A = this chain, B = another copy of it.
């Protein structure tokens, strides 16, 4: 297909496609004349991954380039290729190393992961962006005196484990491995507001159930 059709089918403007070509995020098409190139389904798939990383995930171009290299490296297993893609996504604030609460929060998070048996996450520990964000979030709770011990966090970790099964089922609906990597990035990002807004709606429902005066119900 020509550039115009690639743009139409991907929903990415021709100007943006040309930018991705210049930045090496999209492999060049097969040249058919001095001014025209021919693109195929591999370009369409790559564009979906690039769009998921840059437009949805807000990943910087240089990082996106590394992620694409890892995602397409067939010597890595599928888990590592998915991980390379999702690790690049921005997370929340980092823990402040000088904060004494960060050290205590780190011990809580480590005990929590041991408790739920997330062997893999424990090994990666401090290297993992999500692990570091979790430590920062628990440190903030500690600093302000809100409940955040292992016993408080455990139900959230268990529910997150169930969410991950649902999420990975959704990702595995994609028929190709490349499609799964792209879906992992897009769905990680796009389902965050779904989850947070459903949580708030559920709060309202649960609060009505517990606290509405019976004579008004």
Contact = CB atoms under 8 A, between A and B. Distances in A.
Interface of A: 11, 56, 77-79, 82-83, 86, 91-93, 113, 118-121, 124, 128-131, 133-134, 136-138, 140-141, 144, 146-148, 152-153, 155-157, 159-168, 170, 172-173, 183-184, 186-188, 190-208, 210-213, 216
B204 A133 contact: no
Residue in A77, A86, A193 with the greatest tally of chain B CB atoms within 10 Å: A193
Contact of A164 (B92, B118, B157, B203): B203
Total copies of the chain: 2
Contact of A205 (B121, B140, B186): B121
Contacts of A190: 137, 140-141, 144, 146
B199 A146 contact: no
Given A147-B170, A170-B152, A121 B204 contact: yes
A107 to B, nearest CB: 16
20 contacts: A78-B207, A82-B207, A86-B204, A92-B197, A130-B201, A131-B197, A134-B193, A134-B197, A146-B190, A152-B170, A155-B166, A156-B191, A156-B195, A156-B198, A160-B202, A161-B202, A163-B202, A164-B206, A168-B203, A168-B207
